[in-house]
Structure 1
Amino acid sequence: MDKVLIVIGDATETLDTMYPYYRLQEAGFEPVVTAPEQRLYQMVLHEVKPGWTITKEWEGYTLQANIAFKDVQPEEYAGILFSGGRAPEYIRYDEELVRITKHFFAENKPIASVCHGVEIPAYADCVRGRKMATVPKCQFDLEVCGGIFVNEPCVIDGNLVSGRTFHDNGYYVGPWIQLLEQAREQKN
């Protein structure tokens, strides 16, 4: 079974993470959760409530990381997902995560990003000239690193598939899984 990385940290958004996690299983892939350390992580729920101008946050489920960034051999994985929430703002500086990120872009493997997940490939200098969706408040992060912001529920730019928030899960996760399935067929 082909393995696919899901990148998280504390305060990763629950729906950004769990929907693709289970969709990968349905498609016959093994989701492997990676984080700064191999331990239990607290996820959160994010929503801009009616009348609010900022995101409200609640605690979500917890999720066990299967492997620490430092132990990931990226060539063993078919693809990667950069989940959203507040975690990317903090984990993007991890040198091992930058190493992993650069591998997937260099090898043209299927990559998915949602919401704040864009902050990781942006910091890793992998978004120059690439079109991506992200939550509008991360538009600056994308553009200052040379990426092109597209305010759509699914943006496909070669091997890179992105959505703005968990509200776009039904639009961008399917095309990303199709890229993973195509890569699996070509391998076999």
Structure 2
Amino acid sequence: MAAKRILLLAGDFVEDYEIMVPFQMLTMVGHTVHAVSPGKAAGDQIATAIHDFEGHQTYTEKRGHNFTLNAAYADVKEADYDALLIPGGRAPEQLGTDASVLDLVRAFAAAGKPIAAVCHGPQLLAAAGVIAGRKISAYPACRAEVILAGADYATLPMDGAVTDGPFVTGPAWPAHPAWIAQFLTLLGTRIEP
């Protein structure tokens, strides 16, 4: 397997599991993952939030860990990466207000590179206008945004994921096994016994 360079785009109050698990797992299998956030440099930290499903009408939110970024946002260019990963949480709604972030997402989409987004991550794809005509999953509260962006909203169980072209999406962190497995397939990653 050829190791890939993956850009992980996040911001304050990204969902804790949705940044930690993919970052660690993709690194563990040999890929290089650069975690960045607008206005931040390597060594800076972002705050995370833990979203849990505890029987209420929606998820609960608690303060999570600090996550240390390992690259500077100012230095990233789509051409230097093989794929893009967008975790969920509260960060995508803020990232979607940054024109440079939207341009970066559009560059990955225009290049046809794999893009994995989970939970609220597809909010950023919707804001960038890159999902029209695609089957996209997201946290159910993001359904309207996905549809208004011209995509076909994929209603999945919380542990499900869907791939359509270069996009791999899932509704929340319980989807990690399916979502990351489908992303690895798009990356050409093969794990053999």
**TM-score of the superposed pair, with normalisation by structure 1:** 0.91
Percent identical among aligned pairs is: 28
* Mapping for residues 112-123 of structure 1, pairs under 5 Å: 112-123=116-127
Letter of the 1:32 counterpart? H
Structure 2 counterpart SS, 1:173: helix
Structure 1 counterpart SS, 2:57: coil
Provide, for residues 121-142 of structure 1, a one-character-per-residue CA deviation record: whole Å limited to 9, x for no partner: 1101101111111111000110
* Mapping for residues 1-188 of structure 1, pairs under 5 Å: 1-36=3-38, 37-38=40-41, 39-50=44-55, 52-152=56-156, 153-181=160-188
Structure 2: which 5+ runs fail to align?
none
Whole-Å Cα distance in 2 between the matches of residues 177 and 26 of structure 1? 12
Provide, for residues 79-116 of structure 1, a one-character-per-residue CA deviation record: whole Å limited to 9, x for no partner: 01110001101111111111110111111111101000
What is the count of residue pairs matched by the alignment?
181
CA contact (8 A) 1:70 1:96 kept: no
CA contact (8 A) 1:69 1:96 kept: no
Whole-Å Cα distance in 1 between the matches of residues 4 and 148 of structure 2? 34
Task: Kindly report structure 1 stretches of 4+ aligned residues shifted beyond 2 Å.
Answer: 65-71
RMSD between aligned alpha carbons?
A: 1.3
**TM-score of the superposed pair, with normalisation by structure 2:** 0.89
Structure 2 counterpart SS, 1:53: coil
Letter of the 2:177 counterpart? G
Structure 2 counterpart SS, 1:138: helix
More helix by share: 1
Give, in angstroms, the shift of residue 68 of structure 1. Answer: 4.1
Whole-Å Cα distance in 1 between the matches of residues 119 and 73 of structure 2? 21
